[in-house]
Amino acid sequence: MRNPFLYILLIILVFNCKSEKKEVQSTSDETIEAKKDPLQQSKSFKFESKLLDVRGIKQEFNENLKVNKFGMQYVNDSIYAFVLNLDPSTLEETVSNYSFGVKGHYSESETPFKTTFSPEMTTIGNEKYVILRRKINKIKYFDSLDIYIYQRKNWKASGRLGSIKVKDILFENE
């Protein structure tokens, strides 16, 4: 009688040990999932590698809206995009409160390129972007770009609330 009792006790202990290992394994899987997904990081890297004249700029419109990188994107024909890589702490609500204006200066004309946007924040991989698409004819280089923000709902009263400047932008598509 002692042998069957010990045998059953041994089986119970073995199964308890296995279930504890499963719990430890699931905890470590949750820890891995909580870290940044390398696949998501590679999406943003692939996106930025296709940009024209991408560069780190570390400028801010205000304390809630900071820009880490700037680049140009060729979309098609004469459609280009001004791409602003935002600080990771930027909230979508912050971006939706503002409209953006762009004033581009280039030596071939005394009249600057001007446009405005009411953008949305876009997330690619783990990065946040504002992508401003516009038709740009016969311009392949800006001496400088002034990008500014103003209140989306009350733009006349707000005036410029913040601006950044980017110099020497070459966006000729090869």
For the stretch 54-92, pLDDT in tens is 999 999 999 999 999 999 999 998 899 999 999 999 999
Residue 65 pairs in a beta bridge with: 62
Q: Please tell me the pTM assigned to this model.
A: 0.75
* Residue 22 lies inside a defined structural domain of this protein: no
* Residue 61 lies inside a defined structural domain of this protein: yes
* Residue 109 lies inside a defined structural domain of this protein: yes
* Residue 56 lies inside a defined structural domain of this protein: yes
* Residue 74 lies inside a defined structural domain of this protein: yes
| 164-174: average pLDDT | 87
* Residue 26 lies inside a defined structural domain of this protein: no
For the stretch 20-62, pLDDT in tens is 444 434 333 433 333 456 666 788 889 999 999 999 999 999 9
Number of domains observed in the structure of the chain: 1
Residue ranges making up the domain that contains 137: 38-170
For the stretch 133-160, pLDDT in tens is 999 988 999 999 999 999 999 888 899 9
* Residue 70 lies inside a defined structural domain of this protein: yes
* Residue 142 lies inside a defined structural domain of this protein: yes
Instruction: State the CATH number of the domain containing residue 148.
Output: 2.60.40
